[in-house]
Amino acid sequence: MQSAPTVQGLPFLRNAVPFLRAPLRFLCHVREEYGDVARIGLGPIEMTLVSHPDLVEDVLLTRSKLFTKDRFLREQLRPVLGQGLLSSDGDFWRRQRRLAQPAFHRDKIAAYGDIMVDHASRLAREWRHGEIRDVHKDMMRLTLEIVARTLFGANVGDHAEEVGSALEVVLAVVADPLEIFFPILQRMPTRNRRAFDQAVKKLDSIVYGVIEQRRKSGATETNDLLSMLLHARDEDGSSMSDEQLRDECMTLFLAGHETTALNLSWTWMLLSQHPEVDAALAKELRDVLGDRPATFADLPKLRITGHIIMEALRLYPPAWSIGREAREDLEIGGFLVKRGEHVGCSPWSIQRDPRWFDRPDEFLPERWDGDLAKKLHRYAYFPFGGGPRFCIGQAFAQMEAVLLLATLARDFRAEVLARPRIVASPSVTLRPKPGVRARLSSRP
Ligand code: HEM
């Protein structure tokens, strides 16, 4: 069997330069020029990029057992996330997912709606007409407070900021391309690594502190995620050790806060660029909510709000690339992928492919009005991944994004400043650089 067509590049570095310089453009270029299966070389790393929904389905769902998470997750994120849901594999992951799943059931997370609206309302009270703010910073703080509160209950509120800055340090180090291409650096006492170790230590002391406090108090009445994980029992009656609980808490902090903040930050930018969509949103919020706060029960009525969030996730998927590693030699789309090689699927590239979406680069929330979601290939739109490893927090995130946007956009419009220009910067997640600075105006 042959390998897929190889993308031309330099000796040794191969495609690393265009990939590192402009990964989003590079991924679309590879799909357009080389087709649905193409082989990329990133220095010593071999990657097969699949750009057709059938093949994404094959990797993430149908033959998911033939893959593990990729080396980036295993080697770079594991020191922070340990054996948490995002970075573990095999039977260990399966058991953790079984234990954690009930905590994310729709009925359970519905209870968090009021917490979300409460935090968003506090931010709305801080916002002033005419003021210029970085709304991305605001979204990061807001989603961090919410994940801290829903995960740990009341007692972590004071730590939210410390957790936020420690996570920022950790993410900056793990996404450093130098460390990815030269893993030896991870074992050297560089400045980066010292900052990383300190940040992990800080996170450990906060998270273990809360777990210990909770075990000591024996509180059973708290309705937060930690207590659900703490009391979760497997079929044989076993439960999670402190270390596993620590890993899951860290994972939920990391996976659950920046992603949703990014979804909202991109939404603010898109709304500012499309005043007609913003006006339709404002009307829906006035009609549905009037002067009262949004609730979980409003979600089905907030149709335009929901479609705006979906469309922002299509154009700017926070998880812009999803990676796997082959457990054995196998075939994808008629081409050979050898054991240990990477396979990449990119929501950014596929969700902007004109074969699946008309006018793919345009922000058209109304495209979701009809039955597009039903007609579309399940893997042509996959901002939350798919198969057994799909995002456990999907319902949580969708509810959070709609309730936060509804609460803030009912009272305010954000007009994004022309300068500095916002650039989509793909790190571990897809970030707006240098932020989303906007002038706020209150709605009449
Ligand atoms: C807009 C927001 C979000 C997006 C776009 C997103 C995206 C994703 C994606 C694409 C995956 C699959 C990764 C893979 O297959 O390798 C994933 C997994 C995961 N997400 Fe999310 N996520 C979001 C919000 C959340 C929230 C709010 C939480 C928790 C409260 C969360 C927790 C997780 C966890 C624990 C996993 C690993 C699941 C497993 O492997 O069993 N995510 N997410």
* Residue-level pLDDT at 20: 87
Type of residue at 224: D
Cα of 308 from ligand 1 centre, angstroms: 20
What is the mean pLDDT of the segment spanning 209-236? 83
* Residue-level pLDDT at 155: 60
Atom of ligand 1 nearest to the CA of 262: 1
* Ligand 1 contact via 260 beta carbon (within 6 Å): yes
Q: How far is CA 161 from CA 70, 164, 247, 424, 430, in A?
A: 30, 5, 19, 25, 22
* Residue-level pLDDT at 362: 98
If you take atom 27 of ligand 1, which residue's CA is the nearest one? 256
395-413 pLDDT, tens digit per residue, is 999 999 999 999 999 999 9
Distance CA(321)–CA(344), nearest Å, equals 7
pTM of the model: 0.95
> Is the per-residue pLDDT at 154 higher than 60?
yes
* Residue-level pLDDT at 306: 98
Give the confidence band of 161 by pLDDT, cuts at 50, 70, 90. confident
Residue identified by tokens 């079984």 is 98
Type of residue at 31: R
Give the DSSP per-residue string, 82-126.
Answer: TT-TTT--HHHHHHHHHHHGGGGSHHHHHTTHHHHHHHHHHHHHH
| Between 305 and 185, the higher pLDDT residue | 305
Q: Which two tokens stand for residue 423?
A: 């650039």
* Ligand 1 contact via 385 beta carbon (within 6 Å): yes
| Between 259 and 162, the higher pLDDT residue | 259
266-283 pLDDT, tens digit per residue, is 999 999 999 999 999 999
* Ligand 1 contact via 85 beta carbon (within 6 Å): yes
Give the confidence band of 427 by pLDDT, cuts at 50, 70, 90. confident
Atom of ligand 1 nearest to the CA of 225: 30
Fold of 16-442: Cytochrome p450 (1.10.630)
133 contact partners, CB below 8 Å, separation of at least 6: 127, 437, 438, 440
* Residue-level pLDDT at 361: 97
* Residue-level pLDDT at 397: 97
* Ligand 1 contact via 81 beta carbon (within 6 Å): no
Closest CA to 262 of 424, 146, 430, 393: 430
242 contact partners, CB below 8 Å, separation of at least 6: 208, 211, 212, 215
Distance CA(232)–CA(230), nearest Å, equals 6
* Ligand 1 contact via 285 beta carbon (within 6 Å): no
Cα of 343 from ligand 1 centre, angstroms: 19
Cβ-based burial of 222 (10 A; exposed 0-12, middle 13-18, buried ≥19): middle
> Is the per-residue pLDDT at 148 higher than 70?
yes
Residue 425 backbone phi and psi in degrees, to 5: -115, 105
56-115 pLDDT, tens digit per residue, is 999 999 999 999 998 777 777 888 899 999 999 999 999 999 999 988 988 888 989 999
* Ligand 1 contact via 383 beta carbon (within 6 Å): yes
Q: Which two tokens stand for residue 26?
A: 């590079």
Provide the b/e sequence for 258-286 (b: ≥16 CB within 10 Å): bbbbbbbbbbbbbbbebeebbebbbebbe
* Ligand 1 contact via 51 beta carbon (within 6 Å): no
Q: How far is CA 244 from CA 15, 97, 236, 263, in A?
A: 38, 12, 17, 29
Give me the residues paired with residue 437 across strands.
134
> Is the per-residue pLDDT at 375 higher than 90?
yes
DSSP state of 437: E
* Ligand 1 contact via 389 beta carbon (within 6 Å): yes
Give the DSSP per-residue string, 406-422.
Answer: HHHHHHEEEEE-SSSPP
Cα of 4 from ligand 1 centre, angstroms: 29
* Domain boundaries defined on the chain: 16-442
Give the confidence band of 222 by pLDDT, cuts at 50, 70, 90. low
Helix (H, G, I), strand (E, B) or coil at 332: strand
| Angle, helix 242-273 to helix 303-315, in steps of 10 degrees | 100
What is the mean pLDDT of the segment spanning 230-259? 91
* Ligand 1 contact via 144 beta carbon (within 6 Å): no
Percent of the chain with pLDDT over 90: 72
What is the mean pLDDT of the segment spanning 253-263? 94
* Residue-level pLDDT at 72: 74
* Residue-level pLDDT at 32: 96
Atom of ligand 1 nearest to the CA of 143: 27
* Residue-level pLDDT at 152: 82
Cα of 277 from ligand 1 centre, angstroms: 28
* Residue-level pLDDT at 13: 87
Q: Which two tokens stand for residue 317?
A: 């998927």
* Residue-level pLDDT at 108: 86
If you take atom 18 of ligand 1, which residue's CA is the nearest one? 391
Give the confidence band of 25 by pLDDT, cuts at 50, 70, 90. very high
Cα of 28 from ligand 1 centre, angstroms: 23
* Residue-level pLDDT at 218: 72
Give the confidence band of 424 by pLDDT, cuts at 50, 70, 90. very high
**228 contacts 108 by C-beta, under 8 angstroms:** yes
135 contact partners, CB below 8 Å, separation of at least 6: 265, 268, 414, 436, 437, 438
* Ligand 1 contact via 365 beta carbon (within 6 Å): no
* Ligand 1 contact via 344 beta carbon (within 6 Å): no
Atom of ligand 1 nearest to the CA of 251: 35
> Is the per-residue pLDDT at 221 higher than 60?
no
* Residue-level pLDDT at 272: 98
Atom of ligand 1 nearest to the CA of 69: 16
Cα of 313 from ligand 1 centre, angstroms: 13
Atom of ligand 1 nearest to the CA of 96: 41
Type of residue at 53: P
**What average pLDDT does the chain have?**
92
Give me the residues paired with residue 416 across strands.
438
Q: How far is CA 224 from CA 105, 144, 342, 350, in A?
A: 13, 15, 37, 36
What is the mean pLDDT of the segment spanning 202-220? 85
Q: 112, 391, 404, 429: which to mutate for ligand 1, most atoms within 8 A of CB? A: 391
Percent of the chain with pLDDT over 70: 98
Cβ-based burial of 395 (10 A; exposed 0-12, middle 13-18, buried ≥19): middle
Characterise 334 by phi-psi region: left (phi > 0), alpha (psi -120 to 50), beta (else). left
**331 contacts 32 by C-beta, under 8 angstroms:** no
If you take atom 43 of ligand 1, which residue's CA is the nearest one? 391
Type of residue at 435: G
* Residue-level pLDDT at 156: 63
| Between 161 and 207, the higher pLDDT residue | 207
Q: How far is CA 385 from CA 31, 237, 318, 352, in A?
A: 19, 31, 11, 16
* Residue-level pLDDT at 228: 87
* Residue-level pLDDT at 220: 61
If you take atom 11 of ligand 1, which residue's CA is the nearest one? 391
Cα of 132 from ligand 1 centre, angstroms: 31
